[in-house]
Structure 1
Amino acid sequence: MVVVLKTDVSICLCSDCHKVNEIVMFVAFPMPQVDNMLDKVGQAQYISTLDLTKGNWQIPMVAADTEKMDFGTLWGLFQFR
């Protein structure tokens, strides 16, 4: 885990997941066609946007997988929940 200062002086937590990525099996699927997606939006009554800036911190983890994402700091070993 590395703390990086952004240009606006806020902090960004960065984790190195290279070892996890080596053992994870990714399932690839094609992206939906943009024309079809726009057709669906055109029929909608309401349209909203989501701020996914910190979306990766909001993905739930299975309890058995938390140990795979441990990270060490000067203050000890931590796990995501």
Structure 2
Amino acid sequence: NSDAQTFKDSDGNYYVMVVNRDVTKPAKIQVALDDTCVPKLQSAVDMLSGKRVPVTRKGNEVQFSYNLDPGDGRLFKLK
């Protein structure tokens, strides 16, 4: 059980917010984005920790995964 929402700020930067909706179990969140939404995406940066998360390309999708604790959420800047 997870949710993801993408955002674009006034400077043209893209973000994705992911949330583990399960408050009892950790989850490995899989994020898949159409590569036309975020051209040349090479990494996602966890805005809380500053950690870079590598992305992979599969067809027209850009993907990354992240482990979230129960009820946790993260905002990633897409670079």
Query: TM-score by structure 2 length?
Result: 0.29
Find the structure with the greater CA-based Rg: 1
Higher strand share: 2
Q: Which has the higher contact order (CA 8 A, sep 6+)?
A: 2
Higher helix share: 1
Query: TM-score by structure 1 length?
Result: 0.28
